[in-house]
Amino acid sequence: MGNTIEFPNQEEFYIQKANQCKKEEDLIGAIDWLEKGYIKTNSNQLLEKLWNLLCRTQDWNEIIWLVEEFDLKEEKYLSVYIEALIFMNRFEEVEELLRDSQHLEYPWINTLQLKMMNQKLKNQQDKIQQLQEIGEALQKQDKIFSVEEIHYISQVLIDSTLKQKEYVIQLFLIHPYTPMFDKAILLDEWLESGTFKAIQILWNGEMKRIERDKLLSISKSPLYKEESVLLNELMNHYSMEEATMLAQKWMQDTIRLYPFHEEYISSFEEWVKYFSEKEDLMQSLFFDDATFVKQYDDFRKSKY
């Protein structure tokens, strides 16, 4: 038999591995070894060391996983677990736990409620600051935004529940360098969540006023088609590849032309007949705004 290195017990093996990681300032590695050890041995000693390290690093995701996976109900685990949920903005779960918990004393409940209130306030302040920063950027009329910046701004404005976002959407709509497609999406968002009776949009170099009571949402437009319905119609006459490309162009272009799409397109059948014969169909999906509008000016002229 060969020589083997033996540890006094399994716990010691995992503790030494974790300690070595800590000496190397690899706290993630230390957590990993202690976690593996606890899963294998169910040792209270390993659990205690793991828990202390998770609290020290404030690894909220791991704390939540550990408590849920091993159903740790003691107060010291549950109180930190709820705190982790607060920092992860899972407020509904926190409120339910604080209401129903039989494992927390009142002082802890009071403390956690205060922490949740502070976290909600911080989130609100962060979101207000986020809107302020976006608004300041949009006031710079010569600023050209990257694709990533446009996506970020659009997503923040769509997700925001703050009343102030309506003013920021207005800035986006009148900025000379924000894309037509994203202007359409945010105009649709304004129609759903805003309160102004009218809003302005800089579209194809012209400032236009849009009145709420005269505007239909994208999905309620007579030209709107569900993707599945659109594909089924097209595949009756075109190959799968052609039908997919035409469907993509229709959906993208009708949004990009919004809210003036009906000024350019009178019927789907007419549109398909014209664009299915175009050799630059694929390329047209990537036209800049000026070239995009020109193709529809040409389309409109072709009907007369």
- Tell me the average confidence (pLDDT) per consecutive run of 10 residues in the chain, 304 residues long: 54 88 88 92 92 93 95 90 94 88 73 92 94 97 96 97 95 98 98 96 96 94 90 90 92 95 91 88 91 93 75
Q: Count up the domains in the chain and report the number.
A: 3
Q: Which residues of 107-119 are buried (b: 16+ CB within 10 A; e: fewer)?
A: ebbeebeeebeeb
**Does residue 132 form part of some domain?**
no
Return the pLDDT at 304.
63
> Domain check: are 206 and 266 in the same one?
no
Return the pLDDT at 138.
97
> Domain check: are 206 and 234 in the same one?
no
Domain boundary among 191, 215, 239: 215
Q: Which residues of 120-148 are buried (b: 16+ CB within 10 A; e: fewer)?
A: eeeeeeebeebbeebbebbeeeeeebeee
For every residue of 47-71, DSSP letters joined together read HHHHHHHHHHHT-HHHHHHHHHHHT
Report which of 151, 145, 222 is spatially closest to residue 177, judged by C-alpha positions.
145
Query: In 3-state terms, what secondary structure has residue 156?
Result: helix
> Domain check: are 201 and 232 in the same one?
no
Return the pLDDT at 6.
47
> Domain check: are 43 and 90 in the same one?
yes
Return the pLDDT at 108.
78
Domain that holds residue 268: 220-302
> Domain check: are 55 and 155 in the same one?
no
Tell me 10's DSSP state. Answer: H
> Domain check: are 97 and 38 in the same one?
yes
**Does residue 297 form part of some domain?**
yes
> Domain check: are 160 and 244 in the same one?
no
**Does residue 134 form part of some domain?**
no
**Does residue 116 form part of some domain?**
yes
**Does residue 133 form part of some domain?**
no
The structure tokens listed for 6 are: 């033996």
> Domain check: are 205 and 232 in the same one?
no
